[in-house]
């Protein structure tokens, strides 16, 4: 091509839009036509000027990327490269994106490693250039172009009718859910916990394979031990278990022993692992012997689960808006009346360590 390839970047994160803009602009054959924070803004830009290639995130407010991709391919096909931390060619989401007409799927560049950013730059620029030459045809979809049903925790575990742990015990379990901005929030929270703190179970929305390296990094910098959960792991004092990417994690109890079950299953609230699944299981098996913490994140995963914990007698906390990267999940929990306290990130650890 004699002219530069014009790229429209669609992502709800301003940081990601800036990073992708720098990556695209670094290639002499590419130029950034514009950026958009969600598909609705993107549609307005496309109406004014058609890009050669769109880079598209999957998880966004107002309309998810897969729904937008289907609309593009059914109405006005434009080459699309999915750039998302939530997709991988081997996952169901990745297969759906390819099925709906995406040219390629790339993992978002991580900001913590220079080598990874450079490798990502090469992959992203190559994918965009390849997409610009792709032959596209209008897609026909048998199903209507509507957002897919969002499953609740019912898909994994029936609603709690009566907690299976009614007796107050000295052993407490801390259940934590986080999404966007959660890696830093969890780092602050876990670093503040002493070696003899109650056992912690965590769902952080992260792709498969990333959770293990995240757990290993936390294990190196925290007083407590931190590991990616494996099926049957005991929940014990001084240890935090992080749900593995692409698997749900449930808290279970056998006698006085708490342990986790790691299992496959459908997306719940568009996530696997789902905070709602962890919180519901904690409400059922720990009841008033638990503390629930919902942190920064997009959407509402965990809000209803935190309410179930609250109703089962657990102590519940939501991170406040000022300290959140995205005030989505905590906001929804607060709206439901699920949080006993709304606290800054730095105040959460001291609060959960107080005796009941």
Catalytically annotated residues = 179, 205, 301
SS (H, E, C) the chain: CCCCEEEEEECCCHHHHHHHHHHHHCCCCEEEEEEECCHHHHHHHHHHCCCCEEEECCCCCCCCHHHHHHHHHHHCCCCEEEECCCCCCCCHHHHHHHHCCCCEEECCCCCCCHHHHHHHHHHHHHHHHHHHCCCCCCCCCCCCCCCCCCCCHHHCCCCCCCCCCCCCCCCCEEEEEECCCHHHHHHHHHHCCCCCCCEEEEEECCCCCHHHHHHHHHHHHCCCEEEECCCCCECCCCEEEECCCCCEEEEEEECCEEEEEEECCCCECCECCCHHHHHHHHHHHCHHHEEEEECCECCCCCHHHHHHHHHCCCEEEEECCCCCCCECHHHHHHHCCCCCEEECHHHHHHHHCCCC
- The single residue listed with the structure tokens 């009346």 is 337
> Burial level of 255, CB count in 10 A (0-12/13-18/19+)?
exposed
- For residue 120 the two structure tokens come to 């990502």
- For residue 25 the two structure tokens come to 């602009």
Can you name the residues that pair with 8 across neighbouring β-strands? 34, 54
- For residue 301 the two structure tokens come to 């995963």
């Amino acid at each position: 091509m004699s002219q530069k390839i014009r790229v429209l970047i669609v992502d709800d994160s301003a940081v990601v839009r800036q990073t992708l803009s720098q990556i695209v602009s670094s290639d002499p054959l590419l130029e950034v036509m514009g950026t958009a924070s969600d598909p609705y803004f993107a549609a307005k830009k496309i109406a004014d000027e058609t890009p050669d290639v769109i880079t598209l995130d999957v998880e966004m407010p107002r309309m998810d990327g897969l729904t937008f991709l289907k609309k593009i391919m059914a109405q006005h096909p434009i080459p699309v490269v999915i750039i998302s931390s939530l997709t991988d060619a081997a996952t169901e989401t990745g297969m759906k994106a390819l099925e709906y007409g995406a040219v390629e799927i790339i993992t978002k560049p991580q900001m913590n490693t220079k080598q990874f950013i450079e490798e990502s730059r090469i992959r992203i620029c190559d994918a965009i250039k390849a997409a610009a030459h792709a032959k596209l045809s209008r897609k026909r979809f048998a199903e209507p172009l509507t957002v897919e049903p969002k499953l609740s925790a019912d898909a994994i575990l029936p609603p709690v009718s009566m907690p299976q742990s009614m007796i107050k015990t000295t052993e407490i379990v801390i259940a934590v859910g986080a999404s966007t901005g959660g890696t830093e929030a969890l780092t602050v929270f876990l670093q503040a916990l002493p070696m003899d703190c109650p056992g912690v179970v965590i769902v952080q929305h992260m792709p498969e394979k990333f959770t293990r390296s995240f757990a290993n990094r936390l294990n190196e910098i925290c007083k407590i031990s931190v590991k990616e959960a494996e099926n049957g792991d005991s929940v014990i004092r001084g240890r935090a278990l992080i749900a593995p990417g692409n698997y749900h994690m449930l808290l279970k109890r056998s006698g006085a022993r708490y342990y986790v079950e790691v299992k496959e299953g459908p997306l719940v609230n568009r996530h696997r692992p789902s905070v709602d699944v962890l919180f519901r299981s904690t409400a059922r098996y720990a009841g008033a012997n638990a503390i629930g913490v919902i942190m920064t994140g997009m959407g509402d995963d965990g809000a209803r689960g935190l309410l179930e914990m609250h109703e089962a007698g657990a102590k519940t906390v939501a991170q406040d808006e000022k300290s959140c990267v995205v005030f989505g999940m905590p906001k929804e929990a607060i709206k439901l009346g699920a949080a006993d306290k709304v606290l800054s990130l730095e105040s959460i650890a001291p609060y959960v360590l107080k005796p009941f």
